[in-house]
Chains A and B, each alone.
Chain A
Amino acid sequence: LAKTTQPISMDSYEGQEVNITCSHNNIATNDYITWYQQFPSQGPRFIIQGYKTKVTNEVASLFIPADRKSSTLSLPRVSLSDTAVYYCLVGRDDKIIFGKGTRLHILP
């Protein structure tokens, strides 16, 4: 799996849009970009996956520039319940290797 770099932590306020950027300079042609979310004392949960441009689902949007060397997870109008660790994963292998993720803390 390609190495990824993302901020260790972020703070935001309820109602704001939060953007978490992940760098993956060594992404391979066939690699997908996948984001997982982990709440305290729970297992990780798949949020969104994309290959290029933009993907949107009911939870988040994923923006991927043309060079695919980075990606941005966008969470619209966050609430306190969005406080979690967010993991950016790049690859297409048959196992997930988690990094340290971004610890997002939503403030009231």
Chain B
Amino acid sequence: EPEVTQTPSHQVTQMGQEVILRCVPISNHLYFYWYRQILGQKVEFLVSFYNNEISEKSEIFDDQFSVERPDGSNFTLKIRSTKLEDSAMYFCASSGGPSVYGYTFGSGTRLTVV
């Protein structure tokens, strides 16, 4: 079964540092997403990406965040100047079409900001 792969599985960074979370979506998928889940809380939508541009973003996704699909296979989330409250699980997802059906999520990157 095709998988969405995320690296690293766990990253620890110092407050104020920049981090890049990496994702390899399923190869024939066209829609890409980032979500985050703070410990004990619900999964929150950050951003959706299609045709090499952001199609929608939440209020959480401010200027601190950016996404990129640098080479046609990777999909990255960059967090500039991390804050303690950015500590969370970050999930990448991809889908073949614009529908809630058929999202495939990765196993996540646990980001710990110290």
A in complex with B: yes
A interface residues (Cβ-Cβ under 8 A, vs B): 32, 34, 36, 38, 41-46, 49, 87, 89, 91-101
Verify B108–A43 contact, CB threshold 8 A.
yes
A89 to B106 CA separation, bound complex (whole angstroms): 19
| Given A41-B108, A42-B107, A89-B100: A95 and B45 interface contact (C-beta under 8 Å) | yes
Verify B42–A100 contact, CB threshold 8 A.
yes
- Given the complex, which residues of B lie within 8 Å of A101, measured CB to CB? 42
Verify B108–A95 contact, CB threshold 8 A.
no
| Given A95-B48, A98-B42: A34 and B105 interface contact (C-beta under 8 Å) | no
Assess whether B93 is interfacial by the CB under 8 Å rule: yes
- Given the complex, which residues of A lie within 8 Å of B106, measured CB to CB? 43
Assess whether B17 is interfacial by the CB under 8 Å rule: no
Contacts across chains A and B counted by CB atoms under 8 Å = 62
- Given the complex, which residues of A lie within 8 Å of B108, measured CB to CB? 41-43
Residues 88-106 of B at the A interface (beta carbon under 8 Å):
89, 91, 93, 98-106
B interface residues (Cβ-Cβ under 8 A, vs A): 4, 31, 33, 35, 42-45, 48, 55-56, 89, 91, 93, 98-108, 110
Verify A44–B91 contact, CB threshold 8 A.
yes
A92 to B103 CA separation, bound complex (whole angstroms): 13
Q: How far is the CB of A22 from chain B (nearest CB, A)?
A: 14
Verify A94–B98 contact, CB threshold 8 A.
yes
A49 to B102 CA separation, bound complex (whole angstroms): 9
- Given the complex, which residues of B lie within 8 Å of A99, measured CB to CB? 42
Q: How far is the CB of A40 from chain B (nearest CB, A)?
A: 10
Verify A96–B45 contact, CB threshold 8 A.
yes
Q: How far is the CB of B62 from chain A (nearest CB, A)?
A: 18
Q: How far is the CB of B41 from chain A (nearest CB, A)?
A: 8
**CB<8 Å pairs between A and B, sample of 22:** A34-B101, A36-B103, A42-B108, A43-B4, A43-B105, A43-B108, A44-B43, A44-B103, A46-B102, A49-B100, A87-B43, A91-B100, A93-B100, A95-B33, A95-B56, A95-B100, A96-B45, A96-B100, A97-B45, A98-B44, A99-B42, A101-B42
